């Protein structure tokens, strides 16, 4: 690979991102948005190559900046997917893309201080969430964990010097959770993981999707609807909850069907005080 300087990479990044920015609206042509995604995926691949090379020569700051550029480009890809998926009437997947976009920009800001300007993008995505999607009931899982492993050095997390959430030579440190037992599930207003949410609620005739409001007829094996009980389909955890989140927050939600919560109001007070 020919030698290319970081300022030159940053300049190229800015030019290619600027070319895509006019397409970050719901009304734009889907074909153009798909082309933009392809162009950004090419950019991500190139940035990943530069990041890996910088990490290999232990150029810490350079590797972290390249990590930030790559995650920011991924954030734009996911934002474009939000618009495409909304136009395709797939709001559930659009929501997941929005959460991945938010996670990617937040990760870029943690990668290096030079990405602080992305706070405005984070605000924009928060506004999109508020105005484009209905109110969401989030779910928060509490886990008891017996073993924690560092994602950087693969040692016992308590025995190494890496700190969760910090970038190390182009890679974020995460805690990998092992020997995990579920402890509780709570309904919360603000979860750490916004993929975790109620996706459908039981009605007398079937499951109502909370995004589309469509009711799908009940099928054999579904928990029967009982007046006064909340029967809900919910995503309660994703791979990121076990520390395998990529640096871009690009985890795949893991749906867990039919979480039953009788007397839902009793569990709507969040996590606090529910562990003992």
Partner 1 sequence: MADGTITAEDYIDVRARANALGCTLGEGLVFLPDNFASAASANDFVVRGEITTIRKVLNTGGVASAVLSAEAARPAGFVHNKSHDWMVPMLFVGSELLKTSPDLLGMAIDLIREYAAGLLTGGEKDRQAKLEVVVERSKQRSYRKISYEGDVAGLDAVADMIAKIHADDNASADR
- Can you give the binding site for partner 1, defined by CB under 8 A? 105-110, 116, 118-119, 122, 126, 140-146, 148, 157-158, 161, 163-166, 175, 177, 181, 183, 186, 188-193, 196, 237, 241, 270-272, 275-276
Residue 133 burial by CB count (10 A; 0-12/13-18/19+): exposed, middle or buried?
middle
Compute the least distance from the CB of residue 124 to partner 1, in Å: 13
Give every CB contact of residue 176 below 8 A, 6+ residues apart in sequence.
148, 149, 150, 151, 157, 242, 243, 244
Nearer to partner 1, 23 or 72 (CB): 72
Nearer residue to partner 1 within complex by CB, 148 or 209 = 148
Look at the chain and count its residues: 276
Instruction: Find how far residue 227's CA is from the centre of its chain.
Output: 34
Query: In terms of CB distance, is 8 or 244 closer to partner 1?
Result: 244
Pairing relation of β-strands 175-188 and 206-209? Answer: unpaired
Question: Chain-centre distance of CA 71, in angstroms?
Answer: 12
Q: State the nearest-atom distance from the C-beta of 31 to partner 1, in Å.
A: 32
- Shortest distance (Å) from residue 158 CB to partner 1: 5
Please, which residue, 89 or 276, has the CB nearer to partner 1? 276
Q: How far is the CB of 104 from partner 1 (least distance, A)?
A: 10
């Amino acid at each position: 690979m020919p030698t290319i300087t970081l300022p030159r990479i940053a300049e190229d990044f800015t030019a290619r991102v600027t070319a895509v920015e006019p397409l970050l609206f719901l009304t734009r042509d889907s074909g153009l948005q798909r082309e933009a995604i392809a162009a950004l995926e090419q950019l991500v691949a190139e940035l990943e190559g530069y990041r890996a090379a910088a990490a290999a020569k232990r150029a810490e700051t350079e590797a972290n900046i390249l990590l930030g550029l790559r995650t920011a480009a991924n954030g734009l890809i996911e934002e474009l997917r939000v618009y495409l998926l909304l136009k395709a009437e797939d709001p559930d997947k659009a929501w997941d893309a929005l959460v991945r976009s938010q996670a990617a920009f937040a990760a870029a800001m943690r990668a290096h201080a030079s990405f602080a300007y992305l706070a405005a993008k984070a605000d924009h995505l928060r506004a999109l969430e508020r105005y484009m999607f209905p109110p969401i009931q989030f779910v928060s899982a509490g886990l008891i964990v017996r073993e924690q492993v560092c994602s950087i050095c693969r040692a016992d997390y308590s025995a190494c010097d890496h700190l969760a959430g910090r970038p190390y030579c182009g890679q974020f440190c995460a805690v990998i959770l092992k020997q995990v037992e579920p402890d509780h599930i709570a309904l919360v207003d603000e979860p750490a993981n916004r993929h975790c949410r109620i996706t459908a609620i039981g009605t007398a005739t079937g499951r109502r999707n909370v995004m589309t409001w469509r009711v799908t007829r009940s099928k054999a094996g579904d928990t029967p609807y009982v007046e006064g009980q909340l029967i809900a389909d919910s995503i309660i955890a994703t791979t990121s909850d076990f520390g395998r989140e990529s640096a871009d927050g690009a985890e795949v939600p893991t749906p867990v069907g039919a979480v039953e919560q009788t007397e839902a109001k009793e569990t709507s007070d969040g996590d606090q005080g529910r562990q003992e």
